[in-house]
Amino acid sequence: MRKLTVLKNSTHRTDQDTCTADPRSLLGIALVEASLPRAVLGRLINGEQYGLVLVVPSLHHAHIVEEGLRQLLPGNAAVSVTASCPPGEASTLLLHALQHALPAIAIITQGEEAPIAFAALADLTIRVRGHDARMVRTTMRKVLEQPIPRFPKDLVLHPDPALVCRCIRHGLEPVRIVRALQRLGQSINQTGHERLPDLEDCIEFGMAREWGLSVKRDIAAWQQGKLPGIDLDTACLLVSPPGNGKTYFAKVLARSLGLPLFEISMASIFDNDGCLNDVLKALREQFDAAAAAAPALLLLDEIDSFSRRDAADNNRSFTTSMINELLTLLDGASGRLPGLVVVAATNLPDFIDPALRRPGRLSRTIELQPPDREGREHVLRFHLRGELEGEDLSRVLDLTEGATSAAIMDLVRSARQQARGLGSPFALDHIEAELAASDIEDAALLERVAVHEAGHAIACLVLPGAPVLNSISVLGNAGSAGRVQTFDPLGPATRATLQARIMMLLAGRAAETLVFGDDPSDGANLDLRMATALAASMRAQLGMSSSLLYHRNVEDLLLKDPAFADCIDEDLQTLLDAVTGVLEQLLPHLHALAARLVEERFLTRHQVIDVFNATTMSERASLTGAATPRSAASRYAAAEPISP
C-alpha cells in the first residue's frame, strides 16, 4: 500500500514522490485531508477504482483542490473541475477512468450538478469544507519551513483561497504574511476606506444582530460538518424607514461571516435597455454569481421595487415575470445553496409580493428601529474612532434621541468638517455646536412644537393602556421638529388600548387647539396618517366594529368607499373630542410641561413625571379650602400624582 500522507506530518504522496512547496497545492491537500475519510483517501492514493464527487465552496476552491489532488493521486487518475470543462468532456473523462479501474473525481461547486452518468456510478459524494486558519498556518509552515506564530483571534481570512495563497511566499517573514492576510480579509465588502465594526459589538441592530450571530454560529457548524445544510436559517427581510442601516447591516454581517457580498437591486438589473428578457437574464446572472461564490451573502436591496403581482398598474405582466423569476431563484436555495445567506431590505413591506415572504423564502422579518441610548453610544464611539475617549457624551446622547445610525454618523462627519474649517482640534464642542445648529430658532414655532409634544406626553401618562412614554424632545433632528419616544405596553392590543393609542396620536393636535385656538398647523401630518391607518385597521381588519370582514388593502378601501371613509372620520373626531376633554382638565400641566420643554429641549420620562407631579401639587395647594373647579364628567378630571 502506498504511504498515506497527512499534511501536518509530511508532504509526500509516496516514498519516492514529493510534493512541491507550492502554497496552492499544499492548501489543496489540506482541504482534501480535512474533508475525506482516511479510508477513502487511502484508496485514491493507492490508485484503486473509486468514483468520488467533491462539492467545494466556490470555483476558486475547486482549482485549489484539483492541484492538491494531482499531487496526491497517481498521474493516470481522472480529476475534473466540471465547471471548467466543455459539456460532455468531463463525463467522458471520468467514466473512462472508472472503466479502466482508476480513481475518478468530479469537483463541483455548490448548486452545480455533477455529470449525471458519473454521479450515478460514483461511490460517494463529499462536501469539502472551506479553508480555515489551521490549514493556512500549516501551509505557511511547509512553504516557509519554520514555525508559524498563532494567528490573531480576530483574523478574517479572505474567502478566495487563491488570494490567500498569493500572500504566502518563500523568503517572507511570517509576521509580514500574517499582516497581509489581515489586510486582505479587511478588504472584504469594503468600498474605499469604509470602516466596519464587529457584529458582536453592534447592539444598535437589536434582533438583527442576534439573528446574524446565530447565522455565524450555524455557518461555522455547517462548514465543520456538524450541522446539515437544511437546518440553516440564512434568509431574512429587514424592514425600517430610511437611515436605520439595512444595507450597512448587510456589510457588517458579511464582514463578520468572512463572506463576499453580492448586491442585486432594480437599478443593477435594468442596466441595459430594460427589455424583459435582458432584465430576467441580468437577474439570473447576478444571482448565479452569488451562488457560485457560496458561501456568500446576497443583498436584495429595495426589494419592494419588484412590486407585487397583484398591483393595479399597466406593467402587471412585466412585474409578474420578474417576481416569478425571483421566486424560482429563491426556491430551494436553502437546500441547494446552504452557504448562501440572503438578506432582503425594504422601506415599504406592504409593497412586497406575499409569495416572497412565505416559509422557505423570506419568512423571517426583522424590523430595524432607531438605536436606543446604548446603541447610539456605540455608533457614536465607533465613528469617533477613539477620539474624545474621556469625554462625557451624555448630553449628546440625550439630544440625539430618535436619531438613526446614519444621522449620528453624519453628525460626527459634520462636526469634524466644522473643526477643520475653524482650524482647531476636533472636540466635543464641535458636536454640540452641530446639534445646536439644528435647534428651532423661531420662538413662536418652538412654543407650538413644545405644546404639541407636551400633549402627546401627557396623554401617554394619563390614558389607561396608552403607549408608555420614554422621552420627549423639541430638536431639529430625526427628521422632525419634535418627537415623543414611546413603546407599547405589555399584553394584547384590545379595542381600549388601540383607542388610547389613537387618542395619544391626536393629543398633539388637541393641545395646539386648546392653547392656540382653532388654527391648526401642519405638525399633525404624520400623527393623522398613523391614526387613520390604525382606526381603519380596527374596523376593516381586526373585527373591532359591527363587521367581521377582513380587507387586505385598507388604503384602497379608504379611497374607493366613501361610506367607510366617513365612518373612520367619525371615529377620529370622537376620539379627538375625548382627548381634548382630557387635556382641557390638565391645562396647567400642559403649559408647565411645554415651558420646561422649551427650556431644556429634551426630557426623560422621569423628568416629565416630575413636572407633572409638581404641577399637581401646586394646583392642589392653590385650591386649599376652595371648591374644586373641575368637572366631574371626565374620569380624568382630578390629576393624581404619577409614579415613575
At CA 497, angle to CA 495 and CA 502, rounded to 5? 90
pTM: 0.58
Convert 441-476 to b/e letters by CB count within 10 Å (16 or more is b). eeeeebbbbbbbbbbbbbbbbbbebbbebbbbbbbb
636 CB contacts (<8 Å, ≥6 apart)? 462, 463, 581, 582, 585, 586
- And the C-alpha cell for 167? 500572500
Task: Give yes or no for a contact between 200 and 213, defined as CB atoms under 8 angstroms apart.
Answer: yes
CA distances, 111 to each of 57, 108, 160, 338 (Å): 10, 8, 18, 9
Every domain of the chain and the residues it spans: 1-186, 199-367, 373-437, 443-622
Q: Which of 183, 179, 141, 175 is nearest to 158 (CA)?
A: 183
CA distance 200 to 213: 7
Q: Which of 348, 253, 364, 370 is nearest to 302 (CA)?
A: 348
φ, ψ for residue 28, nearest 5 deg? -60, -40
Task: Give yes or no for a contact between 597 and 608, defined as CB atoms under 8 angstroms apart.
Answer: no
- And the C-alpha cell for 598? 422649551
Q: State which CATH number among 1.20.58.760, 1.10.3720.10, 3.40.50.970, 1.20.1730.10 fits the domain covering 443-622.
A: 1.20.58.760
At CA 569, angle to CA 566 and CA 572, rounded to 5? 155
303 DSSP 8-state letter: G
Integer-rounded Cα Rg, in Å, for the chain is 32
Q: Is 206 helix (H, G, I), strand (E, B) or coil?
A: coil
Using CB atoms within 10 A of its CB, is residue 584 exposed (0-12), middle (13-18) or buried (19+)? middle
**CATH architecture of the domain with residue range 199-367:** 3-Layer(aba) Sandwich (3.40)
12 DSSP 8-state letter: B
Residue 253 is predicted with a pLDDT of 93
CA distance 371 to 358: 29
Task: Give yes or no for a contact between 498 and 464, defined as CB atoms under 8 angstroms apart.
Answer: no
At CA 144, angle to CA 139 and CA 147, rounded to 5? 80
Strands 124-127 and 50-56 come out as parallel
- And the C-alpha cell for 638? 382630578
Q: What is the mean pLDDT of each run of 10 residues along the chain (644 residues)?
A: 37 41 91 91 93 87 92 91 79 91 89 83 88 90 89 81 88 88 68 69 93 91 82 89 87 86 79 72 80 81 78 66 84 68 89 83 88 91 88 86 83 90 90 75 86 95 91 69 82 90 95 90 86 92 87 84 92 95 94 92 88 87 52 43 68
Using CB atoms within 10 A of its CB, is residue 619 exposed (0-12), middle (13-18) or buried (19+)? middle
Strand partners, 79: 105
CA distance 259 to 255: 6
CA distance 500 to 466: 5
- And the C-alpha cell for 229? 445544510
Q: What share of the chain is helix, strand, coil (3-state, %, to 5)?
A: 55, 10, 35
Q: Which of 82, 165, 100 is nearest to 131 (CA)?
A: 165
CA distance 42 to 21: 22
Residue 8 is predicted with a pLDDT of 37
Type and span of the H or E element at 238: strand 235-239
Residue 632 is predicted with a pLDDT of 31
CA distances, 629 to each of 75, 621, 636, 638 (Å): 103, 13, 14, 10
Tell me which residues are annotated as active site: 453
Q: Which of 542, 502, 511 is nearest to 447 (CA)?
A: 511
Type and span of the H or E element at 120: helix 116-121
Residue 111 is predicted with a pLDDT of 61
Task: Give yes or no for a contact between 38 and 150, defined as CB atoms under 8 angstroms apart.
Answer: no
